[in-house]
Amino acid sequence: MTLSGGRRVGAPRLTPEVVPGVHRLEHAFTNCYLLVEGDSWTLVDAAFPNTWGALIRAAHELDLRMHDLQGIVLTHGHFDHVGFAERAVEELGVPVYVHAGDRELAAHPYRYRREHTPFVYPLLYPRSLPPVVGMLRAGALNVKGVEEVSELPSSGTLDLPGRPEVVFTPGHTFGHCGLLLRDRETLLTGDALVTLDPYKGVPGAQIVAGAATADSEQALASLDVISGTGARVLLPGHGEPWRDGAEAAVASARAIGRS
């Protein structure tokens, strides 16, 4: 499956400077973000096993060295965000951070609580097929859990490049966290709010379907936290950046509701 320009659907794509100092690496409809400060950098989320090579190429393109990676922050412990984290630990010795509520999930990223079986979604939502195929090609069934982690606090600023502030947004998982870049009015939302639900293939600011969400009511409640950040730009775990402000994104997500 390819796009009209010849790029395979779900192939890695680097978008430099989505906001100053932040670069987006998209692979198989899933986003990682590189927070750069001088020569040092932080990675937010680790996508899939096959994203590792794409990350190395992206770092080279941005004139970054892999050994200057100071930490990987996981917004949550699902397989499509844990990805190559264990490989980074083994090869680089880089610390991996995750909230205590998702520590067990990061070690066992397929053992997640959800409200509905995911297997009916491709039948109900045929537009989910490209994300499913892309994720499988990216190694979605071969993710190794990561056990050697440092725990994220529920709030506070991390001593990592980019100086991200932890924003606790449970619901998608019970330890889900976003990261606020206050000086850039930007919130990395993880899967607390996305602009493409891969389980439905439907664009728009929304919470993720119950096929992968532990508690949709809690996820909807966490939208208040997102709105309260006053962020101008939202960078989600799936989908394109949202540049119309947190309040508008939250209003859209509430209108769509749970699924």
pLDDT in tens, 210-224: 999 999 999 999 999
17 vs 148: CA distance, rounded Å: 31
Give yes or no for residue 2 having a pLDDT over 70. no
Give the model's pLDDT for residue 5. Answer: 41
What average pLDDT does the chain have? 96
Give yes or no for residue 3 having a pLDDT over 50. no
Give the model's pLDDT for residue 6. Answer: 46
168 vs 248: CA distance, rounded Å: 20
pLDDT in tens, 155-189: 999 999 999 999 999 999 999 999 999 999 999 99
Give the model's pLDDT for residue 119. Answer: 87
Quick one: pLDDT band at residue 1, thresholds 50, 70, 90? very low
Give the model's pLDDT for residue 8. Answer: 76
Q: What's the chain look like in SS3?
A: CECCCCCECCCCEEEEEEECCEEEEEECCEEEEEEEECCEEEEECCCCCCHHHHHHHHHHHCCCCHHHEEEEECCCCCHHHHCCHHHHHHHHCCCEEEEHHHHHHHHCCCCCCCCCCHHHHHHHCHHHHHHHHHHHHCCCCCCCCCCCCEEECCEEECCCCCCCEEEECCCCCCCCEEEEEHHHCEEEEECCCEEEECCCCEEEEECCCCCCCCCHHHHHHHHHHHHHCCCCEEEECCCCCECCCHHHHHHHHHHHCCC
Q: Are strands 194-197 and 186-190 parallel, antiparallel or unpaired?
A: unpaired
Give the model's pLDDT for residue 7. Answer: 55
Give the model's pLDDT for residue 9. Answer: 73
Kindly list the structural domains of the chain, giving each domain's residue range(s) and its CATH number in brackets, ordered by start. 13-256 (3.60.15.10)
Give yes or no for residue 13 having a pLDDT over 80. yes
Give yes or no for residue 67 having a pLDDT over 70. yes
Q: What are phi and psi of 69, to 5 degrees?
A: -70, 120
pTM listed for this prediction: 0.96
